[in-house]
Structure 1
């Protein structure tokens, strides 16, 4: 615990994907939420919600900001996930509909980076969570993210049985660092990640807007093609989003043009990121059975890579 001035913005610590699931007494395990990551910055009873790529989220989630400001606490910075539920399961797709319909939204806080006059990032995670639970106030909308000790595989099996997203495994003594780390690991029940929208195909038959979205990711600064997604859109999205992508600059990339085996497609300058669910990667490094879940605005284009 180090006495310091409160920083304006802290970039989040990121977990690494793994398929080697384990139980270990030196680790704690939390539910992995299917929502939007955010950093809460509270100073003098004013709250700013920052996205993963440091954009302000106050206008989009104004009701949660008001709820956080009602809970009187000392100044703090906390790491959290903004979620909506489809039945009892967090749903990124449901969260995307908050502008179109009434959707109940919540915050789950799982880490405390700064409190009062003290920077906690050098403290062990287990200590930060103890301070978080003791010092912050919670409500129906603002919730503490619980964890279990040691029993990682047991919790993972429970999450998958309940059709939930998965588990985040964290070393109990881990410091908080603003980059991806193997001290935090993701156990996913199903495959899914973000992809850059690099183009689209023309609609066929009665389809409006566009046919499919072409997806890509970066690998060592090179833009790679991951396949196309043609399901998961409603008619309203097909109409509105097609207008947005059709005004973008055309992307000239001979490698991508030669790799994409579509008759009628347009490559566009990368601007938008899509959340995609899929069953697996093929041997050709393409997505099998991809499904569109929604657009993401909380991540930088250059940070979209193939999760390993």
Structure 2
């Protein structure tokens, strides 16, 4: 079980790895997403209870149930399926895999996408992915797959943090950014909410191990240096926010958790 940046995920999700290992035939490559639920809605914050674990038994005892929603198949037996259109791959996928929890087939709709999008937003979902039914599989960002979000939420890279004030533990706020089209690391704002005490302490330790003397942001003139620590851009965080401002900063950002499945250099603005 691998993440998109090729990290092994067998330890935090052992039940998913076991279910995949028991599938027949045993020579295939599938693509999907692991989710956890809060009620009937997927919850990234609940998934955090599994993402950062490094002990298999601790993962099994976490009390956080996870499911692997499979949405594509790239290889089956001796056949490369990536050049087939998506609709044909989904048809093969549905028959090739036995779906029992925690493995689930990702259904799709062929029409009335706008109506489904509005329905998703009313239900409190994060959004939808619209895919070209005739598209081949590509291993990078593509205009053939488009995100339509009901809430503003995406990954950002941590480039620094501020000192805590008063009785607050760990740190005050994260300084976050993203890479522009020329791969310049751009500052997007400070995040000071969404942390509990345990997160503040653990995240502070991770950042201290990556501290540096120089500012990593290209637009460093926009940042106050008072009580600021710079960090090598290596940690990717999921951030929720209300909107982008006119000067490309986040309004009311809040921390949701760390991401292990995405390389920092692949984090771009999704506005």
Shared topology, TM-score over 0.5?
yes
Residue pairs, 1:172-251, within 5 angstroms:
172-219=133-180, 220-251=182-213
Instruction: State the distance in 1 between where 2:152 and 2:11 align.
Output: 31
Structure with the bigger percentage of strand:
1
> In the aligned structure 1, how far is the partner of 2:270 from the partner of 2:5?
18
Deviation at 1:72? 3.1
- Specify which structure has the bigger relative contact order, considering alpha-carbon pairs within 8 angstroms and separated by 6 or more residues: 1
Deviation at 1:67, TM superposition (A): 1.6
Over residues 201-255 of structure 1, what are the superposed CA-to-partner deviations in whole Å (9 max), with x where a residue is unaligned? 1101110000110001111121111001011111001112212212323141385
Cα distance in 1 between the residues matched to 2:37 and 2:120: 15
Native 8 Å contact 2:162 2:172 kept in 1:
yes
Q: Flag the 1:298–1:255 CA change in 2: closer, same or farther, 3 A.
A: closer
Pick the structure with more helix per residue.
2
- Cα distance in structure 2, aligned partners of 1:257 and 1:203: 21
Shift in alpha-carbon separation, 1:261–1:208, aligned structure 2, 3 A? same
TM norm structure 1: 0.81
Question: Where in structure 2 are the equivalents of 1:16-31 lying within 5 Å?
Answer: none
How does 1:81-96 map onto structure 2 within 5 Å? Answer: 81-96=33-48
- Contact 1:71 / 1:138 at 8 angstroms: preserved in 2? no
- Say if 1:73 and 1:137, in contact at 8 Å, map to a contact too: no
Residue 232 of structure 2, aligned match among 260, 264, 269: 269
Q: Is the 8 A contact 2:68 2:103 kept in 1?
A: yes
Secondary structure of 2:143's aligned partner: strand
Q: Which is worse superposed, 219-228 or 63-72? A: 63-72
1:120 maps to 2:81: yes
2:211–2:229 Cα contact (<8 Å) kept? no
> Is the 8 Å Cα contact of residues 251 and 269 (structure 1) preserved in structure 2?
no
Separation in 1 of the partners of 2:66 and 2:218? 42
Deviations 1:90-140 (A, max 9, x none): 111111112473100000000111111111111111011011111211102
Q: CA 1:251/1:153 → structure 2, altered by over 3 Å: closer, same or farther? A: farther
Asked whether the 8 Å contact 1:197–1:214 carries over to 2, the reply is yes
Which consecutive unaligned segments of at least 5 residues does structure 1 have?
1-48
Q: Report matched runs for 1:290-301 at 5 Å.
A: 290-301=253-264
Q: What does residue 260 of structure 1 align with?
A: 223
User: SS at the partner of 1:150?
Assistant: coil
SS in structure 2 opposite 1:148?
A: coil
For residue 80 of structure 1, what is the aligned residue in structure 2? 32
Q: Map residues 134-149 of structure 1 onto 2, 5 A cutoff.
A: 134-149=95-110
The alignment's TM-score, normalised by the length of structure 2, stands at 0.92
Aligned to 1:97: 49
How far apart, CA to CA, are the structure 1 residues paired with 2:130 and 2:259?
24
**Residues of 2 paired with 1:166 and 1:239: CA distance?**
32
Q: Distance in 2 between matches of 1:108 and 1:245?
A: 32
Q: CA deviation at 1:256?
A: 4.4
| Of 249, 252, 270, the match for 1:286 | 249
Change (3 A) 1:168 1:257: closer
- Matched pairs, number: 260
